[in-house]
Amino acid sequence: MQAVKEIRGKMDASGKKVAIVVSRWNELVTKELLAGALDELARFGNPEVIVIHVPGTWEMPVAVKSLLAGPNKPDAVLALGCILQGQTPHAKLLGGDVGGALMSLQVEYKTPIAWGVLTPDTQDQAIDRSGMKFGNKGREAAQAAIELISIVDQVS
């Protein structure tokens, strides 16, 4: 029988650096995503955290690239925002463009970028996903980042 090595992420961010890029647009929602992410990071090892506030989701990729290309590169980045769908295709285009840009940066810099950007149809759905009925997507992004930091460390 063939030997199989399994790699699993550990939920411990002790001694790590995490950056959070959070959109001010839809701040009613994004402040709750940020609070959930910060709480989760503290719960899993309390890493060094820098929070960068950007005007909107569109501005996230340039802020993330500046972090990753800089001298104090974090071990992971959390992208937190909220793009409400409207009656035009603007929101879908924005979400796709920002998601694609962040995915490219994640691969280029070999650094986890956790997607904590909501794309709900309504404000009520956004509120439900930022800490009410359906959990907090900021918390979930923090958990994904912590786990992926460990995986990257193990395979590098």
Residue of 16, 43, 5 whose CA lies nearest to 148? 16
Count of residues for the chain? 156
From 24, 90, 92, 110, the catalytic residue: 90
User: CA 1, CA 117: separation in Å to the nearest integer?
Assistant: 44
Examine the residue annotation and report whether 53 is marked as an active-site residue of this protein: no
> Do 138 and 5 contact (CB within 8 A), yes or no?
no
Q: How far apart are the first and last CA of the chain?
A: 27
Annotated active-site positions, please?
90
